[in-house]
């Protein structure tokens, strides 16, 4: 079977492409739908919404998650909100404006047609979620409330306090539950996908490990939908959940699925900083804090006085100084990089020196403590819970943290990967956010893919594909089970001296230092060789305790870290070959005299899709380029001075 | 306490190989615990030490570590999620303890939550309660414009407060009868408060309560331990609302 590597963007005007595609797609009649088994891996917003919707349509859905319940996927932790172009506030929003802001926010490195479709279906998402009983914030008249988010001049963000992701996910989970009760979804929780099974080059099943019993199972299907999130935990420390990992996506990559733009990672500027070497994860503090907080560091290098003892004249409000017109409200990538520069200059604050201040004392003087508390009270409380410090009295310490990954498995307009039958949804694919994602757009994309895109595109695939019966007893499945079991045995058999976490932490530091907020050629070359050395050491010296036929968290983590050790190398290769700066990818060699990202549209207006070769100990990656055509928007340089 | 403010904590942690095996307490004195460590980071440090000493690490459930996914559990010195009010185990920090403290860590104990290994329990009974009726039967694509359905702000806010349940199971672990009433009532209340929930309101109450009763949960005797232990402070009044909903639905079912 040949590689599927055509964008398949429908012809015609931007506004009518999706409608045209839906008219042209083949359909599967209701009686035939029940003959198709659809495997959905992951139960976040993308996987949950896809599983529920496909089951409603009559397909047999088999849903898999690593958590103990589908309700716990990491979409649940999203705070801010979800964008849609309803224009309820009458402030001039439109589908086009949402599309344009998203394309521009992505620094012109995403596909026009995908982003336009996303903006078009966003309104349907809000309608659907409200109908499910999602308790969005409302005004006193009973109508839905909106707020503003970064990168937009309108209020288009729907929200449920600071728990929008939770409420949307519980909506999708409820829709799934209804189908589970009806027998249309078979739910497999605490199962980890460890291999994709292809038959004649077509995705026909998966191999999973039952995390309770260690049993290796294979499941057959007519299509596989991968909805397994991003790869931010390559960096060890991130705002992702502890269990978030790239293994399912990476194993598909190893089976031939191209991985697109792996170097595009989003670093969120306002997170609670690391407090010690034992740190296991980082917590986000909402971007909204930058509306009233002022970011600063001491002017003097190595000034260790308490922030309250440093007079205003000896503080450097560096964002206000460098970007007088946007001040503290510059976009995420810019704010993050500037914080890193201050720490690199040894002007960081706190016990570790790896933080900057976010100070509300002027806001408290101006508005009063009560008004500040009404606006940000819950965030201040969360900060105090974690740090033990009272942000009303002393400035918050914040530092950027890895938050989201824009790169992912390559997909065409129909969300199909280069492997026929393997579709990729949500953060796991690469298609909609370009080189930088705007706030409140991740929830939008996950639900758009699951509720409103895949039901159409999957039917078209199933109606046209030649899918002979397969059985879990045939060689492809047997081989996959054996391969997975052998890999687990290999991990258990090394019996070295270093724990999985120790390797993961080391990898995280390497990645953060060289593939993090800013990158350069030498650093990337160095880190590629260091990652290789660390990977060699891993396979010779990792210690994985316990047995394979019990719940064994260390064994689970070991497999994931082994994949991160390859993934990091691919990210570095991608960053090294993209000789420009754009969005979350900042190459130090390519910046304007004012330290802004310098894009090279002539040579790099393309998607970099990587093909896997080699093996776990020595992977190799081959680059395939796919040009991005901008027919409808003009490429411009962003400026925030 | 040492000069640098670090503590020694005397841990007693439940270890149980599998669902059908007998458990015991692993005793371990952990040094160099810092006040800024989260409770689960302290467990990470313990596990690293155990692995280095050639022993089996302790299995425990955790994921987001920001208090929203509901995965972490643990009964700490007798309290589900530990001593701090309105706080999940993952948000608990070691500054809540002092040097030399004895800390006993057990799984959420309930017949309906069988132990899988150590501190990891099976909470799929919660999922089955939700599957019985915790939803609005609306297919994708059926929805009208979102603003065609105004909802009184007070009702929306109350519905949100009920919907904020993270499904962790602390309510069950705290209850002397291991009742799931607070958990079940939160979903029944969330949907009963909203217009979208009205068409299935009675069937939902009947089905979810019946499913709760068919699992191995105990009955509610209204002591309020559940709400006091709830990291999201789901109010006890939802339970009385659930039984009102159930009673109304039952009597109307008899009459019809």
Subunit contact B135:A187, Cβ cutoff 8 A: no
Query: Which residues make Cβ contacts (< 8 Å) with residue A554, sequence separation at least 6?
Result: A499, A500, A544, A545, A546, B51, B57
| Residue among A126, A160, A166 minimizing CB distance to B146 | A126
Subunit contact A166:B166, Cβ cutoff 8 A: yes
A198: tokens are: 């292809």
Contacts of B233-241 with C-beta under 8 Å, sequence gap 24+, read B233/B86, B234/B161, B234/B162, B234/B164, B234/B165, B234/B171, B234/B182, B234/B186, B235/B161, B236/B182, B238/B162, B238/B182, B238/B185, B238/B186, B238/B188, B238/B189, B239/B181, B239/B182, B239/B185, B241/B185, B241/B188, B241/B189, B241/B192
Residue of A nearest to B133 (CA): A178
Average pLDDT over residues A525-535: 98
Q: Is the predicted pLDDT of residue A80 greater than 90, yes or no?
A: no
Taking alpha carbons only, the member of B194, B198, B200, B204 closest to residue B154 is: B194
| Residue among A128, A178, A180 minimizing CB distance to B137 | A178
Subunit contact A138:B45, Cβ cutoff 8 A: no
What share of chain A in percent tops pLDDT 70? 99
Subunit contact A135:B160, Cβ cutoff 8 A: yes
B124: tokens are: 């799929």
pLDDT at B10: 98
Residue A39: phi, psi to the nearest 5? -95, 125
Complex ipTM: 0.98
A vs B, Cβ pairs < 8 A, gives 212
Can you say how many angstroms the Cα of residue A292 is from the centroid of all Cα atoms in its chain?
A: 28
pLDDT at A377: 81
| Residue among B134, B140, B167 minimizing CB distance to A69 | B167
- Considering chain A, what is the average pLDDT of its residues? 95
Subunit contact B135:A174, Cβ cutoff 8 A: yes
**Domains, chain A:** 14-266+404-464 (3.50.50.60), 268-402 (3.90.700.10), 475-627 (1.20.58.100)
B32: tokens are: 């160099």
Region class of A618: left (phi > 0), else alpha (psi between -120 and 50), else beta: beta
Residue of A nearest to B120 (CA): A551
Residues of B in contact with A283 (CB under 8 A): 65-66
Subunit contact B150:A283, Cβ cutoff 8 A: no
The alpha helices in chain B, defined as continuous H runs, are: 39-52, 124-131, 153-163, 170-174, 181-192, 201-214, 225-229, 237-255
The model's pLDDT over A383-409, given as tens digits with 9 standing for 90+, comes to: 998 899 999 999 999 999 999 999 999
pLDDT at B182: 98
Asked if A424 and A259 count as a contact pair (C-beta separation under 8 A), the reply is: no
Q: What letters, b where the CB count within 10 A reaches 16 and e where it falls short, cover B33-47? A: bbbbbbbbbbbbbbb
Subunit contact B140:A175, Cβ cutoff 8 A: yes
Q: Quickly tell me which residue has 């080189």 as its tokens.
A: A435
How far apart CA A438 and CA A395 sit, in angstroms, is: 27
Confidence of residue A382 (pLDDT cuts 50, 70, 90): confident
Query: Which residues make Cβ contacts (< 8 Å) with residue A32, sequence separation at least 6?
Result: none
How far apart CA A5 and CA A411 sit, in angstroms, is: 8
Contact status of A598 with chain B (Cβ, < 8 Å): no
Residue of A nearest to B51 (CA): A545
The model's pLDDT over A439-469, given as tens digits with 9 standing for 90+, comes to: 899 999 999 999 999 999 999 999 999 999 9
Q: Quickly tell me which residue has 């009433």 as its tokens.
A: B181
pLDDT at A151: 67
How far apart CA A369 and CA A366 sit, in angstroms, is: 9
How far apart CA A297 and CA B142 sit, in angstroms, is: 53
Contact status of A441 with chain B (Cβ, < 8 Å): no
Subunit contact A133:B137, Cβ cutoff 8 A: no
pLDDT at B159: 97
| Residue among A86, A130, A283 minimizing CB distance to B143 | A130
How far apart CA A404 and CA A442 sit, in angstroms, is: 9
What is the DSSP secondary-structure string of A382-408? HHHHHH---TTTSPEEEEEEEEEE--E
Residues of B in contact with A550 (CB under 8 A): 17-18, 117
The model's pLDDT over A571-622, given as tens digits with 9 standing for 90+, comes to: 999 999 999 999 999 999 999 887 888 999 999 999 999 999 998 889 999 9
**Domains, chain B:** 7-116 (3.10.20.30), 124-255 (1.10.1060.10)
* Residue A469 vs residue A639, higher pLDDT: A469
Can you say how many angstroms the Cα of residue A35 is from the centroid of all Cα atoms in its chain?
A: 33
Subunit contact A278:B160, Cβ cutoff 8 A: no
How far apart CA A475 and CA A490 sit, in angstroms, is: 22
Q: At B107, is the secondary structure helix, strand, or coil?
A: coil
Fill in the DSSP letter of residue A273. Answer: P
Average pLDDT over residues A625-635: 96
The alpha helices in A465-520, defined as continuous H runs, are: 475-494, 500-514
Confidence of residue A531 (pLDDT cuts 50, 70, 90): very high
For testing the chain A interface, which of B19, B43, B64, B210 should be mutated: the one with the most A CBs within 10 Å?
B64
Those residues of chain B that have pLDDT short of 70 are 1-3, 256
A506: tokens are: 């080391």
How far apart CA A195 and CA B77 sit, in angstroms, is: 42
Subunit contact B63:A242, Cβ cutoff 8 A: yes
Contacts of B237-242 with C-beta under 8 Å, sequence gap 24+, read B238/B162, B238/B182, B238/B185, B238/B186, B238/B188, B238/B189, B239/B181, B239/B182, B239/B185, B241/B185, B241/B188, B241/B189, B241/B192, B242/B181, B242/B184, B242/B185, B242/B188, B242/B189, B242/B205, B242/B209
Residues of B in contact with A554 (CB under 8 A): 51, 57
A26: tokens are: 């083949």
| Residue among B63, B126, B136 minimizing CB distance to A133 | B136
> Where in the sequence numbering do the catalytic residues of A fall?
332
| Strands across the sheet containing B79-80 | B23-33, B7-16, B102-106, B75-76, B79-80
Q: At A542, is the secondary structure helix, strand, or coil?
A: strand
What share of chain A in percent tops pLDDT 90? 86
How far apart CA A305 and CA A294 sit, in angstroms, is: 19
Indicate the pTM of the whole model: 0.97
* Residue A593 vs residue A37, higher pLDDT: A37
* DSSP count for chain B of H helices, then E strands: 8, 7
Residues of B in contact with A70 (CB under 8 A): 127
For testing the chain B interface, which of A124, A174, A547 should be mutated: the one with the most B CBs within 10 Å?
A174
How far apart CA A617 and CA A315 sit, in angstroms, is: 49
Residue of A nearest to B69 (CA): A72
The model's pLDDT over A302-330, given as tens digits with 9 standing for 90+, comes to: 999 999 999 999 999 999 999 888 788 77
Confidence of residue A640 (pLDDT cuts 50, 70, 90): low
How far apart CA A591 and CA A581 sit, in angstroms, is: 7
For testing the chain B interface, which of A139, A546, A553 should be mutated: the one with the most B CBs within 10 Å?
A553
How far apart CA B105 and CA B82 sit, in angstroms, is: 9
Contact status of A554 with chain B (Cβ, < 8 Å): yes
Residue of A nearest to B189 (CA): A133
Q: Quickly tell me which residue has 């701090």 as its tokens.
A: B84
Contact status of A52 with chain B (Cβ, < 8 Å): yes
Half-sphere exposure of A426 (CA within 13 A, CB side): 28
Confidence of residue A185 (pLDDT cuts 50, 70, 90): very high
Subunit contact B87:A130, Cβ cutoff 8 A: no
Asked if B218 and B179 count as a contact pair (C-beta separation under 8 A), the reply is: yes
User: What does each C-alpha distance from A125 to A48, A73, A168 come to in angstroms?
Assistant: 14, 19, 10
Contact status of A385 with chain B (Cβ, < 8 Å): yes
Q: Quickly tell me which residue has 């190595």 as its tokens.
A: A302
Give chain B's end-to-end CA distance (angstroms, integer): 70
A207: tokens are: 């191999």
Subunit contact B140:A70, Cβ cutoff 8 A: no
The model's pLDDT over B90-127, given as tens digits with 9 standing for 90+, comes to: 999 999 999 999 999 999 999 999 999 999 999 999 99
Taking alpha carbons only, the member of A252, A260, A247 closest to residue A563 is: A247
């Amino acid at each position: 079977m040949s590689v599927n590597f055509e964008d398949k963007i429908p012809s015609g005007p931007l506004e009518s492409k999706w409608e045209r595609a839906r008219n042209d797609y083949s359909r599967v009649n209701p009686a035939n739908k029940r003959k198709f088994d659809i495997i959905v891996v992951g139960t976040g917003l993308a996987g949950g919404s896809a599983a529920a919707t496909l089951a409603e349509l009559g397909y047999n859905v088999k849903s898999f998650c690593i958590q103990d319940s589908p309700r716990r996927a990491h979409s649940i932790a999203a705070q801010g909100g979800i964008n849609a172009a309803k224009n309820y506030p009458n402030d001039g929003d439109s589908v086009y404006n949402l599309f344009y802001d998203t394309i521009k926010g992505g620094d012109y490195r995403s596909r026009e047609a995908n982003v336009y479709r996303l903006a078009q279906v966003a309104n349907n998402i809000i309608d659907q979620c409200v109908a499910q009983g999602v308790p969005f914030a409302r005004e006193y008249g009973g109508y839905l409330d909106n707020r503003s988010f970064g990168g937009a001049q309108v209020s288009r963000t729907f929200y449920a306090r600071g728990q929008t992701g939770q409420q949307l996910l519980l909506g999708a989970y409820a829709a799934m539950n209804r189908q589970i009760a009806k027998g249309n979804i078979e739910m497999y929780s605490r199962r980890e996908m460890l291999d994709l099974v292809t038959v004649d080059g077509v995705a026909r099943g998966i191999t999973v490990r039952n995390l309770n019993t260690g049993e290796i199972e294979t499941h057959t299907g007519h299509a596989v939908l991968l909805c397994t999130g991003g790869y931010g935990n390559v960096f060890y420390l991130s705002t992702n959940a502890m269990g978030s990992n790239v293994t399912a996506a990476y194993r598909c990559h190893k089976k031939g699925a191209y991985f697109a733009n792996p170097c595009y990672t989003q670093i969120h500027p306002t997170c609670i900083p690391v407090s010690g070497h034992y740190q296991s994860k980082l917590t986000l503090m909402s971007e909204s804090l930058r509306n009233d907080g002022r970011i600063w560091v001491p002017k003097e290098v190595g000034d260790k006085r308490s922030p309250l003892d440093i007079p205003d004249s000896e503080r450097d409000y560096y964002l206000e100084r460098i970007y007088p017109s946007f001040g503290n409200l510059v976009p995420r990538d810019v704010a993050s990089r500037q914080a890193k520069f201050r720490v690199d200059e040894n002007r960081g604050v706190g016990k570790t020196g790896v933080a900057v201040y976010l100070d509300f004392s002027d806001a408290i003087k101006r508005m009063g403590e009560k008004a500040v508390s009404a606006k940000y009270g819950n965030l201040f409380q969360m900060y105090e819970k974690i740090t033990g410090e009272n942000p009303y009295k002393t400035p918050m310490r914040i530092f950027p943290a890895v938050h989201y990954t824009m790169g992912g498995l390559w997909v065409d307009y129909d969300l199909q990967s280069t492997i026929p039958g393997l579709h990729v949804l949500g953060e796991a694919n690469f298609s909609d956010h370009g080189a930088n994602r705007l706030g409140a757009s991740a929830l939008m994309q996950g639900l758009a893919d699951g509720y409103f895109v895949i039901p159409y595109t999957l039917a078209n695939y199933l109606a046209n594909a030649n899918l002979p019966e397969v059985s879990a007893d045939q060689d492809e499945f047997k081989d996959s089970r054996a391969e997975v079991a052998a890999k687990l045995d290999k991990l258990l058999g090394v019996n070295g001296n270093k724990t999985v976490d120790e390797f993961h932490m080391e990898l995280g530091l390497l990645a953060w230092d060289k593939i993090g907020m800013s990158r350069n050629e030498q650093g990337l070359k160095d880190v590629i060789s260091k990652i290789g050395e660390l990977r060699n050491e891993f396979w010779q010296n990792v210690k994985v305790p316990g047995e394979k036929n019990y719940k064994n968290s260390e064994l689970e983590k070991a497999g994931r870290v082994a994949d991160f050790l390859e993934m990091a190398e691919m990210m570095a290769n991608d960053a090294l070959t993209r000789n420009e700066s754009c969005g979350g990818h900042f190459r130090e060699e390519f910046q304007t005299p004012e330290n802004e990202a310098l894009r090279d549209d002539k040579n790099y207006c393309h998607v970099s899709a990587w093909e896997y070769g080699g093996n776990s100990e020595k992977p190799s990656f081959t680059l395939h380029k796919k040009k991005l055509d901008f027919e409808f928007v003009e490429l411009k340089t962003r400026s925030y001075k | 306490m040492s000069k640098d403010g670090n503590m020694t904590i005397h841990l007693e942690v439940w270890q149980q190989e599998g669902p059908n095996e007998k458990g015991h307490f692993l005793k371990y004195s952990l040094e160099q615990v810092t006040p800024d460590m989260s409770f689960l980071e302290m467990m990470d440090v313990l596990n690293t030490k155990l692995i280095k000493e050639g022993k089996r690490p302790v299995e425990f459930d955790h994921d987001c570590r920001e208090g929203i996914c509901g995965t972490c559990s643990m009964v700490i010195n007798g309290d589900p999620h530990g001593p701090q009010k309105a706080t999940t185990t993952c948000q608990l920090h070691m500054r809540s303890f002092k040097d030399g403290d004895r800390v006993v860590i057990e799984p959420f104990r309930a017949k309906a939550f069988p132990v899988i290994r150590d501190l990891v329990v099976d909470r799929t009974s919660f999922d089955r309660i939700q599957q019985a009726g915790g939803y609005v039967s609306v297919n994708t694509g059926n929805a009208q414009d979102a603003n065609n359905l105004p909802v009184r702000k007070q009702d929306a806010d109350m519905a949100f407060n009920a919907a904020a349940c993270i499904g962790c199971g602390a309510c069950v672990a705290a209850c002397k009868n291991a009742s799931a009433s607070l958990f079940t009532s939160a979903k029944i209340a969330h949907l009963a408060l909203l217009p979208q929930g009205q068409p299935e309101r009675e069937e939902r109450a009947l089905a979810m309560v019946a499913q709760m009763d068919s699992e191995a949960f105990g009955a509610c005797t209204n002591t309020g331990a559940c709400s006091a232990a709830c990291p999201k402070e789901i109010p006890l009044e939802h339970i009385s609302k659930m039984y009102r909903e159930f009673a109304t639905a039952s009597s109307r079912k008899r009459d019809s």
